[in-house]
Amino acid sequence: MRASVINRILIVVLIGVCVLWLVIPFAMAILWSIVDPSQAWSYPDLFPAKVSFQRWIDVWQTTALRDALVNSYTLAPSVAITTLLLATPTAYAIGRFEFPGKTAVQVLSLLPLVVPGFVIAVFMASLLLNLGLYNRFASIMLGHCVLFLPYAIRILSVSFALVRQDLIDAARDLGASPWARFHAVYWPALKPGVLAALIIVFIQSIEEFALAFILGSPDFTTVPTILYSFLGFNFVRSNAAVVSLILVVPNVALMLVLERLLKSANPAMVSGKG
Amino acid sequence: MRLRRAGLILLLLLPGLGLILVLIGSVIVMAFGQSVGYFALTGESGFSWEHWREQLDGRLLWRSFQYSAYIATTSSILSVLLAYPIAMWLRRPFRGSLFAGALLKAPLLVPGLVAAFLFINVISFHGFFNELMVWLGIIDRPIRMQNDRNGYGVIFLQVWKNMPFALLLLTGSVQAISDDVLNAARDMGAGSIARFRKVILPLTLPAMQAALVIIFIGAAGDFSFQAVAGPTTVNSMAQLMVRLKGEFGGYHEAGVVAVLLMALALFGSVALAGLTRVAVRAGMKV
Amino acid sequence: MLRVDGVTKTFEDGFRALKGVSLNAGRGDFVTLLGPSGCGKTTLLKVVAGFLTPTEGTVSIDGTDVTREPPERRDTAMCFQSYALFPHMTVAQNIEFGPRQNRVAKDERLARLNALLTQVDLEAHQHKLPNALSGGQQQRVALARALAMRPGIVLFDEPLSNLDAKLRDQVRIEIRALQREHGFTAIYVTHDQAEALAMSDHVLVMREGAVEQEGAPEEIYTAPRTSFVADFIGAANLLTGTVLGEDGPGRWQVRTEMGTVKVASDEPPVASSVHVSWRPEDAVLANGSANGSGNGSGTGENLIQAPIVARVYQGSFTEYVLDAPERPAVSLRVHATQFGAREGETLAFHVPPDRLRFLEQVAS
């Protein structure tokens, strides 16, 4: 009884703290994005005097947001699919084979997470300059693939390890062709992992700033780089609010989808143990 | 047969791990190489300590190094300190614990730049926080909190973004300790502090070290929080590196900073993890 | 020593795990709580240990009420089913944990450690981590760790359930030997009736949160009072009987599925319609029964003749499954030591009237 009362109090405290650190910041961003340009929102007004979607229209019409959205949303799916294809063989080796140096392989595959992102960005730029390669889209795509390979390898190797050998043996014993075996045994175990890897890499690619900023500058913009430009010297609060919301909302939606997927999948997937 | 198997495994590792090693390897080689004068884009390319000497003599680099080390250490320790009690609280499921966990982990979904924007929105001169304080009568007129000199804003943002991550790792680790083990300790006379020190801390040490290392590395290499909310009087290492590269095309100078930043990330995080281990071991003995 | 009085435990979700359970154990007693899973035996153990606070009732140790004392302040030590060894501590550190917590002087602590390591035969492994040990060795570490506190009461929560059969017998003997040597009171939870009969001084058979029957192992086995106890402990033939009338002092005529039989009992049946049980090994094969000599001379009352449905060779005895003569849907089981009958033949045997037992009333 006593513990449950304490828990209730703590939850109320937590909700209070979360209002401070989640609800208010987001509420302010939403309000700033709908302040009508004709009437400024300033102290001591609690709410904007006049609200409209004029800011959204302005940002859309006057800035490079449209290009940035096109760039980000072409880049992210390409990165997600390419990363998945690149990660699968390595994940298969880690998940289904025992070999000397396996731990070293697992540790080394985390390398892109350990080297600071801006070091990778700056010296990848210099590497590409030295090699004389100038395609910005391809450079950022390659960089993102390498940067997010660790996530895909980790998730997929857990999935591969979950494929049950006795089921594979049973399928072979019953005369299943390789394709039938994949369909009946591998795919059910792999499916949640594949979707999780795709979604996580997609989100990461949309969010990524360092490589997009360094390799893409000055003319190739993504949503985060355009947000950065609104936060810099020409700070336009309403524009930044619009872009922030554009960046966050799909993220949250995708993560909710992911949560659903993982809940319906194997519990070992969710806890990430493997 | 064994050779064929080894060949197969190598082949399988090639597109994933191989690509990682080639690209990250060349990036590191580029950084080292350019810092000592190789791979020059213009002019002479050849070995020289010149760029190191030049950078190490300037005060800018050392200030940045110290600043980044300070931000990284403070942020990682604060995040873990905050996450521990919450992880303990969420160890056993109760009514509303899932909701509480989801609320706490929400910042994981917010990209760094968005977090920075939201934050400066709240603390800006005419932001919510100032107006609330004025309205409550705590202060007479708004105070300037944005880009504070001590980097508290950056540390706040780091903790805001990284505490949920530490929480994720620690909750998993704390939940993996069986009730029986804790009950056994209790049964043998260990009170709640002794149980925490002698059983929970040592058993969650790997998760705590992982959280510290990853947060440290991330915060040491931070650019966006610093650029938006950090002090204007000092650069973080990443910021300095980008500035040196950007303004003057100075890849050699940036290389020096990059090598030092990698060294900071590597040795700093290892040292932090090592010290934590020593502290936990000592705590077990007392 | 240990006294549990009318303990009831209702969990927050409304589940009543214990319904007014009482238990008494003297110093050095070996008391077993026996029952199927979900009967409340582990809950009772946790109430005694102090991990759970009862909703009603009291727990006292050595005359002191400890109902609200936390486990760390009770003179009990628990041996967990999962062993619950500290994975980050060596065998020696595990054993020393309790004495360290209780600030036992170093000399004394080391003396206890060394004595226990010898007793459980783990000197060679004292610097290993638990994960490097076999299941039996881990079990012995858990035992030594509990004993290092010199507790008055040791609580065992199914300590042998994770061991294989051979090892189980060995550890069972070790536990009894340690108990005799250290003189602690043991409260032992198990669902294995053979284990309960072999180890205990006193057995409490539990069912759905209440004590169904308690007594010495022999008493529980030979004189079960309900069909639950008769069936749970050992093998039993359970019949429903209608009492036809008295047949002399302490003898009754009862009509059952295997015919009308005489039952000799100190106590009269509780109702006219009553459950009756007998043990398969109490059957005495009748002389002249198909090719063979039976368990004994076999002249006597309650002669039953029943067709053999199945014959199961069990090594030291053979089990015959028979159709009850009056109602073939009911199976009877007879254990015989030397007999060669086959399926389809008829088995003739006696059940001595004093081996038939009246149980509870038949629910209408």
- C-alpha C189: how far from chain center: 8
Q: Kindly state the average pLDDT of the residues A17-27.
A: 84
Distance of alpha carbon B50 from alpha carbon B47, whole angstroms:
9
Listed range (A116-120, A191-195, B129-133) with the worst mean pLDDT: B129-133
Nearest-neighbour CA in chain C from B237: distance (Å): 39
**Beta strands of chain C (E only): which ranges?**
2-10, 16-25, 30-34, 56-61, 64-65, 76-79, 153-157, 185-190, 202-207, 210-215, 237-246, 251-256, 259-264, 273-278, 284-285, 303-313, 318-323, 331-336, 346-350, 357-361
Banded pLDDT at A265 (limits 50, 70, 90): low
Query: How crowded is residue C292: how many other Cβ atoms within 10 Å of its Cβ?
Result: 12
Angle at B17 between CA B13 and CA B19, to 5 degrees: 110
User: Is the pLDDT reported for residue B237 higher than 90?
Assistant: yes
**Residues near B55 by Cβ (< 8 Å), separated by ≥ 6?**
B61, B253, B256, B257
CB distance from B95 to chain C under 8 Å? no
Query: CA nearest B210 in A: which residue?
Result: A114
CB distance from B177 to chain C under 8 Å? no
Nearest-neighbour CA in chain A from B159: distance (Å): 12
Yes or no, beta carbons of C88 and B202 under 8 Å apart: yes
Q: What percentage of chain A carries pLDDT values higher than 90? A: 43
Alpha carbons within 13 angstroms on the beta-carbon side of residue C263 total 29
Angle at A216 between CA A211 and CA A219, to 5 degrees: 160
Per-position b or e across B137-173, b if 16+ CB within 10 A of its CB? eeeeebeebbbbeebebbbbbbbbbbbbbbbbbbbeb
Residue C294, pLDDT score? 44
CB distance from B181 to chain C under 8 Å? yes
Alpha carbons within 13 angstroms on the beta-carbon side of residue B138 total 8
C89 backbone dihedrals φ, ψ, rounded to 5°: -120, 150
The two tokens of residue C33 are 């709580």
Chains contacting C (3+ CB pairs below 8 angstroms):
B
Yes or no, beta carbons of B184 and C81 under 8 Å apart: no
CB distance from C152 to chain B under 8 Å? no
Whether the link from the prior residue into A44 is cis, omega within 30° of 0, is yes
Banded pLDDT at B50 (limits 50, 70, 90): confident
**Residues near A205 by Cβ (< 8 Å), separated by ≥ 6?**
A72, A75, A76, A79, A80, A144, A148
User: Which residues, numbered 261 to 280 in chain B, qualify as contacts with chain A under a Cβ-Cβ cut-off of 8 Å?
Assistant: 261-262, 265-266
CB distance from B106 to chain A under 8 Å? yes
DSSP-assigned states of every residue in B167-190:
HHHHHHHHHTS-HHHHHHHHHTT-
Distance of alpha carbon B249 from alpha carbon B59, whole angstroms:
20
Residue C316, pLDDT score? 86
Yes or no, beta carbons of B188 and C72 under 8 Å apart: yes
**Nearest beta carbon to residue A122 from set B12, B20, B245:** B245
In this predicted model, which residue has the larger pLDDT, B142 or A249?
Answer: A249
Nearest-neighbour CA in chain B from A115: distance (Å): 7
Yes or no, beta carbons of B122 and A115 under 8 Å apart: no
Residue A271, pLDDT score? 37
CB distance from B188 to chain C under 8 Å? yes
> Percent helix, strand, coil in chain A (nearest 5)?
80, 0, 20
Residue A269, pLDDT score? 41
Q: Which of A194, B188, B104 is CA-nearest to residue C101?
A: B188
Q: Is C120 in contact with C141 (CB distance < 8 Å)?
A: yes
- C-alpha B187: how far from chain center: 39
Yes or no, beta carbons of B113 and A112 under 8 Å apart: no
Q: What percentage of chain A carries pLDDT values higher than 70? A: 93
Q: Tokens 């399926």 sit at which residue?
A: C343
Nearest-neighbour CA in chain B from A86: distance (Å): 5
By the 10 Å C-beta count (0-12 exposed, 13-18 middle, 19+ buried), B245 is classed as: buried
**Nearest beta carbon to residue B12 from set A92, A122, A149:** A92
CB distance from C84 to chain B under 8 Å? yes
- C-alpha C361: how far from chain center: 24
* C349 beta partners: C285, C304
CB distance from B41 to chain C under 8 Å? no
Q: Is C50 in contact with C66 (CB distance < 8 Å)?
A: yes
Chains contacting A (3+ CB pairs below 8 angstroms):
B
Q: Which ipTM value was assigned to this complex?
A: 0.89
pLDDT in tens, A240-253: 888 999 999 888 88
Q: Is B213 in contact with B131 (CB distance < 8 Å)?
A: no
User: Is the pLDDT reported for residue B28 higher than 60?
Assistant: yes
Indicate which of A120, A126, A129 best probes the interface with B, i.e. most B CBs within 10 Å of its own CB: A126
Yes or no, beta carbons of B180 and C84 under 8 Å apart: yes
CB distance from B183 to chain C under 8 Å? yes
* C5 beta partners: C58
Cβ contacts of C161 on chain B, cutoff 8 Å: none
User: Is the pLDDT reported for residue A235 higher than 80?
Assistant: no
Distance of alpha carbon C102 from alpha carbon C124, whole angstroms:
26
Cβ contacts of A214 on chain B, cutoff 8 Å: 242
Banded pLDDT at B58 (limits 50, 70, 90): confident
By the 10 Å C-beta count (0-12 exposed, 13-18 middle, 19+ buried), B195 is classed as: buried
Cβ contacts of B185 on chain C, cutoff 8 Å: 86, 97
**Nearest beta carbon to residue A224 from set B113, B221, B254:** B113
Indicate which of B42, B118, B237 best probes the interface with A, i.e. most A CBs within 10 Å of its own CB: B118
Yes or no, beta carbons of B13 and A93 under 8 Å apart: yes
SS3 B255: helix
User: Is the pLDDT reported for residue B71 higher than 70?
Assistant: yes
Cβ contacts of A22 on chain B, cutoff 8 Å: 103, 106-107
Yes or no, beta carbons of B172 and A272 under 8 Å apart: yes
| pTM of this structure | 0.85
Listed range (A91-100, A164-173, B138-147, C85-94) with the worst mean pLDDT: B138-147
Residue C19 is classified by DSSP as: E
Residue B161, pLDDT score? 92
Cβ contacts of B17 on chain A, cutoff 8 Å: 90, 105, 108-109, 153
Torsion on CA atoms C175, C180, C186, C190, rounded to nearest 10: 40
Query: CA nearest B189 in C: which residue?
Result: C72
Nearest-neighbour CA in chain B from C71: distance (Å): 5
Yes or no, beta carbons of B16 and A4 under 8 Å apart: no
**Residues near A184 by Cβ (< 8 Å), separated by ≥ 6?**
A167, A171, A176
- C-alpha A245: how far from chain center: 15
**Nearest beta carbon to residue B181 from set C49, C51, C86:** C86
pLDDT in tens, C107-119: 999 999 999 999 8
Residue B42, pLDDT score? 73
Banded pLDDT at A272 (limits 50, 70, 90): very low
Q: Tokens 């008493």 sit at which residue?
A: C219
First CA to last CA distance, chain A: 37
Residue segments in chain C with a per-residue pLDDT below the cut of 50: 289-298
pLDDT in tens, A27-45: 888 888 888 877 777 666 6
Q: Is C184 in contact with C154 (CB distance < 8 Å)?
A: yes
Yes or no, beta carbons of A142 and B23 under 8 Å apart: yes
**Nearest beta carbon to residue B27 from set A8, A127, A271:** A127
